[in-house]
Amino acid sequence: MAAARSQDFFTGEFLAQLERLALTSRRTFRGRVKGERKSPHRGSSVEFVDYRPYGVGDDLRYVDWNIFGRLDRLYLKLFVDEEDLCLHLLVDASASMDYGEPTKLRYAARLAAALGFVALTNYERVGVGIVRERVTDGWLPARGRVQVLPLLGFLADLRAAGGTGLNDGLVNYARRARDPGLAVLISDLLDPGGYDTGLRALQERRFDVHVVHLLAREEMSPSFTGDLRLKDAETGETREVTFDGQASRSYRRRLQQFLDGAESFCRANEITYHRVTTGIPLEEFVLRQLKGLLLV
Cα–Cα distance, 238 to 220 (Å, whole number): 21
133: left (phi over 0), alpha (psi -120 to 50) or beta: alpha
Is the pTM higher than 0.95? The answer reads no
% of the chain surpassing 70 pLDDT = 87
The answer to whether the beta carbons of residues 161 and 68 sit under 8 Å apart is no
| pLDDT tens-place string over residues 95-144 | 999 999 999 999 999 999 999 999 999 989 999 999 998 776 788 999 99
| pLDDT tens-place string over residues 213-246 | 999 999 998 887 888 888 888 888 888 888 888 9
- Per-residue pLDDT at 38: 45
| pLDDT tens-place string over residues 4-57 | 455 678 999 999 999 999 998 877 655 544 445 544 333 344 556 677 787 766
Cα–Cα distance, 83 to 44 (Å, whole number): 10
- Domain parsing of the chain, residue ranges: 2-16+84-216+274-290, 48-79
3-class state of residue 47 by DSSP = coil
What would be the CATH architecture of the domain defined by 2-16+84-216+274-290? 3-Layer(aba) Sandwich (3.40)
% of the chain surpassing 90 pLDDT = 60
The number of angstroms, rounded, from the C-alpha of 78 to the middle of its chain's C-alpha atoms is 26
- Per-residue pLDDT at 44: 47
| pLDDT tens-place string over residues 90-106 | 999 999 999 999 999 99
Mention every residue, 6+ apart, whose C-beta is less than 8 A from residue 95.
160, 161, 162, 163, 233, 234
